[in-house]
Amino acid sequence: MVKMNMYNMVFLMLFLLGFCFFIIGIYFLMHNYYVLVDWEFLSVNSSVMTMTLLFDWMSLIFMGCVLFISSMVILYSGSYMVSDMNNIRFLLLVILFVISMLMMIVSPNMISILIGWDGLGLVSYCLVIYFQNTKSYNAGMLTILTNRVGDVLILLSIAWMVNFGSWHYIYYMGIMEDWTFIFLMMLVIAGFTKSAQIPFSSWLPAAMAAPTPVSALVHSSTLVTAGVYLLVRFSSLIFNFDCYYLLMISLLTMFMSGLGANFEYDLKKIIALSTLSQLGLMMSILFLGFPLLTFFHLLTHAFFKALLFLCAGLIIHCMMDTQDIRYMGGIIKYLPFTCSCFCISNLSLCGMPFLSGFYSKDIILEVYSMLGTNFIMYLLFFVSIGLTVSYSIRLVYYCISDNFGMYVCQSYFEDKNMIISMIFLTLMSVVLGSMLSWLMFIVPYMVCLPFIMKIMPLLFITMGLFLGYELSFFYLNSLLLSYMFSKLYFYMGSMWFMPKFSTYMIYSNGLLISKFYYYNMDMGWGEYLISNSSSYFFSMMSSLLNYYQNNNIKLFIISFMFIMLLMII
């Protein structure tokens, strides 16, 4: 009971804080206002150390969203983790995670950004290995090692920023020097590691070994969005360079994850790949030069993705912790409210008109159509949007509709705390998009397109819907497509073998080299000449001394006679 009260108390505190930050952020946005807070925490003679915090509309609204989602996740976790022995440790880890994210959001200084950035990586590792089995340990190691690449690059960029004379990046946004390109590349690669763009994508589905509430928090508003948020902050520096190569990487990430989600059967991994697809969308529109649209989609995506994870968590909970969608089916009869929320979040993800995902995705697609990029990129972009609808429909078909479910007589329940958190997130998934679009874009974007380009998103969404249904629909007497094209399915569903590249391909060469050195240095001439030479020398000397001590009278007489002989001669 005390544990439940702690969860409820933390929920209430974070929710009220989030509400305050959100309202203040809207006020700052309306009045184009921002505050820099300098906190001097150490002064020794003439040395002064200060901590600077930046409160503008962007950081305040984002902090409000992070706190809203984390409060709902903690309320949900109170019921989800009730049978866990270490649920207080879990609560403290989640609070640490949120604090690290807030630290990163309000920092205009690269040093304090590093503190938040490192905190996110470390706490995410603790949460991924929370269940303490081999799979969790492997996933945690892959997660933290990939994120360490980003941490090292942030450290190098801090060293590089000494050229500026200060670590406050906000003072130098307009400066364009020759060496700024290297600094920017470090930041972009650091952002790519956190936001899991190609070639760092393999850790994101692996991080699904964490408890489901953590996945909801990580994949909506905290860990994976940190990279996007950092690049949004540095966007005015990015636009000094040609970003088409980075745009291509983002589009390929979007396409690869959309393709992989259509051939995956693990419920949480499908939603993780869906997050990766949306991150690719955010990055691509950022590199085209629209940081505000990126931030807008970041906020709308956070709420419907958190809702999607919470619904999936309850479904997995009721399915006796199985995550394979092939065992599910007909859940709508037993969990009607959860399935309704699941469908709303899925439709918002697809860009259903007048849900929050529509307001951000539609304007992104239309702005992209206006830019006149090359045909390959245009096609990749729209095919990826179609794939989003495809895996969403497949998910609904397998989990909710009257599928051939194996688990039919489990104990289904919908907890009060879980329902409260879902209601709030559903409300935000419906309302937030329109509200933020009215607030952020007071002067609306003028989009003027021919008819065929205007209905292009609708065409691809319809095609994706048809494809998703056709790929998942099957009769009892027919052979599944996945059996007929098993090798192709395996290639597409394994993220183009990227997890293999990130694990076996890296450490197998190192193991071969270490084996070679072991046999040739440790067990070869190296051992004899280098490691054991001193021991051989001293053992030889000690044996000589030992011989001398045992035969000292004989040796003394012989040496005396030898000296006498020399004197006579």
Q: Which of 394, 423, 441 is nearest to 265 (CA)?
A: 394
Residue 418: partners with Cβ closer than 8 Å, 6 or more residues away: 76, 79, 80, 310, 314
Put residue 429 in one of left, alpha, beta given phi > 0 → left and psi -120 to 50 → alpha: alpha
Task: Report how far residue 163's alpha carbon sits from residue 182's, in angstroms, rounded to the nearest whole number.
Answer: 12
515/534 same-domain check: no
- 8 Å CB contact between 41 and 50: yes
What average pLDDT does range 10-26 have in this prediction? 92
Residue 290: partners with Cβ closer than 8 Å, 6 or more residues away: 364, 367
538/558 same-domain check: yes
What average pLDDT does range 420-429 have in this prediction? 90
535/548 same-domain check: yes
What average pLDDT does range 320-348 have in this prediction? 84
Residue 485: pLDDT over 80: no
Condensed to tens digits (0 to 9), the pLDDT of residues 441-481 reads: 888 777 888 888 888 888 888 888 888 887 776 655 556 66
Structural domain contains residue 382: no
Give the three-state DSSP class for 266: strand
Condensed to tens digits (0 to 9), the pLDDT of residues 56-112 reads: 999 999 999 999 999 999 998 888 888 778 888 888 999 999 999 999 999 888 888
pLDDT value for 565: 84
Structural domain contains residue 518: yes
Q: DSSP letters of 451-468?
A: HHHHSHHHHHHHHHHHHH
What are the structure tokens assigned to 41, written together? 């925490």
Q: Which of 255, 273, 152, 280 is nearest to 206 (CA)?
A: 273
Condensed to tens digits (0 to 9), the pLDDT of residues 337-358 reads: 888 999 999 999 988 888 888 8
Structural domain contains residue 116: no
Specify the long-range contacts of residues 110-115, CB closer than 8 Å, at least 24 apart. Answer: 110/154, 110/157, 110/158, 110/161, 110/167, 110/168, 110/169, 111/158, 111/167, 112/51, 112/52, 113/154, 113/230, 114/151, 114/154, 114/155, 114/158
Confidence of residue 416 (pLDDT cuts 50, 70, 90): confident
What average pLDDT does range 207-216 have in this prediction? 84
- 8 Å CB contact between 346 and 424: no
Residue 408: pLDDT over 60: no
Helix 416-440 to helix 57-80 angle, to the nearest 10 degrees? 170
What average pLDDT does range 197-215 have in this prediction? 85
Determine the residue type at 446.
M
Window from 184-193, 257-266, 318-327, 344-353 with minimum mean pLDDT: 318-327
Burial 15-33 (b: 16+ CB within 10 A, else e): bebbeebbebbbebbeeee
Domain that holds residue 543: 524-568
What share of the chain has pLDDT > 70, as a percent? 92
Residue 525: pLDDT over 70: no
pLDDT value for 25: 92
pLDDT value for 480: 62
* Greater model confidence, 27 or 523: 27
Structural domain contains residue 354: no
pLDDT value for 526: 63
Task: Report how far residue 485's alpha carbon sits from residue 473's, in angstroms, rounded to the nearest whole number.
Answer: 16
* Greater model confidence, 318 or 408: 318
Structural domain contains residue 542: yes
Determine the residue type at 157.
S
497/484 same-domain check: yes
Task: Report how far residue 351's alpha carbon sits from residue 346's, in angstroms, rounded to the nearest whole number.
Answer: 9
Task: Report how far residue 288's alpha carbon sits from residue 283's, in angstroms, rounded to the nearest whole number.
Answer: 9
What is the torsional sign of CA 167, 169, 170, 171?
positive
Window from 276-285, 354-363, 471-480, 482-491 with minimum mean pLDDT: 471-480
Put residue 32 in one of left, alpha, beta given phi > 0 → left and psi -120 to 50 → alpha: left
Confidence of residue 177 (pLDDT cuts 50, 70, 90): confident
pLDDT value for 17: 93
Structural domain contains residue 564: yes
How much helix, strand and coil, in percent to the nearest 5, is found in the chain? 75, 5, 20
- What DSSP state is assigned to residue 201? T
Q: What is the pTM of this model?
A: 0.86
Q: Identify the helix (H) or strand (E) that includes residue 54.
A: strand 47-55
Task: Report how far residue 274's alpha carbon sits from residue 208's, in angstroms, rounded to the nearest whole number.
Answer: 13
Task: Report how far residue 369's alpha carbon sits from residue 363's, in angstroms, rounded to the nearest whole number.
Answer: 10
pLDDT value for 405: 65
What are the structure tokens assigned to 27, written together? 């006020």
Q: Identify the helix (H) or strand (E) that includes residue 232.
A: helix 223-233
Structural domain contains residue 379: no
Residue 372: pLDDT over 80: no
Structural domain contains residue 412: no
Query: Across the chain, what does the average pLDDT equal?
Result: 84
pLDDT value for 481: 62
pLDDT value for 22: 92
Total number of domains constituting the chain: 2
Alpha helices in 400-485 (DSSP H): 416-440, 451-454, 456-472, 481-484
**Torsion of Cα atoms, 53 then 56 then 62 then 64, to 10°:** 90
